[in-house]
Structures are given as structure tokens and as C-alpha cells.
Amino acid sequence: DQQVKQNSPSLSVQEGRISILNCDYTNSMFDYFLWYKKYPAEGPTFLISISSIKDKNEDGRFTVFLNKSAKHLSLHIVPSQPGDSAVYFCAAAGAPGANNLFFGTGTRLTVIP
């Protein structure tokens, strides 16, 4: 049962515009959320995170928004750059009894020059 879902397998955005990647989760006990970026044939790298006590966290061009009531989070990239083209994974942590991250299926972002 997929507890973290990314319903858009792919997204294409023009360079300079905003990219919005979405993630939904089902377990209300999750208390920490992370975004990872992955290039082909490489391991994911940590991008940005947010605690459940916040609704927004910003780091340069990357902002993550959390809507706990909707069990939804999103990653905004502004402005998008061609180097941002990668697969983005949403992950969640904090489920009782689970000392591991739960990952979504990923969204492939393509930024068109």
C-alpha cells in the first residue's frame, strides 16, 4: 500500500517558469517530509525538507509547502533551469514503529531551454 503518492509521473516546464511538483500522503502520523532529486544512474540527493509544524520552507529557488489538513505537499522551483531536469522523489518519515523513509514513485521534470 503506497503511503506516499506522486500522481504525476512527468512534468515539462519552460526555462524560467515555475515548476510545481505535487505529493500526497495517507498516514497522518508522518511528521517530516523531504524531497530528493535524482539523475539517471545516480543515487538521490537531498534537496529540501519540512517539519509538520511548519507550512512552508524556502531554500533559494526551492520552496516546499505543506498542507496537513489535505495531506498534501508541493515543491516549487522558481525560476526553473535546464539543470533541474531530473526525477524528484517525495519522502515522508515519522510513522510510529517505522524507522525508515517512505518514498513516492517520483516525478520526472524536464525543463525546456
Partner 1 sequence: DGGITQSPKYLFRKEGQNVTLSCEQNLNHDAMYWYRQDPGQGLRLIYYSQIVNDFQKGDIAEGYSVSREKKESFPLTVTSAQKNPTAFYLCASSISGQGISNYGYTFGSGTRLTVV
Interface with partner 1 (CB under 8 A): 2, 6, 9, 31-32, 34, 36, 41-46, 49, 51, 89, 91, 93-94, 99-101, 103-106
CB of 94 to partner 1, least distance (A): 6
Please check whether residue 37 is in contact with residue 45, taking contact to mean a CB–CB distance below 8 angstroms. Answer: yes
CB of 14 to partner 1, least distance (A): 25
Within 10 A of 111 (CB to CB), how many other CB atoms are there?
21
- Nearer of residues 25 and 36 to partner 1, judged by Cβ: 36
The residues, ordered by sequence, that sit 6+ positions from 31 with a Cβ below 8 Å of its Cβ are 51, 52, 93, 94
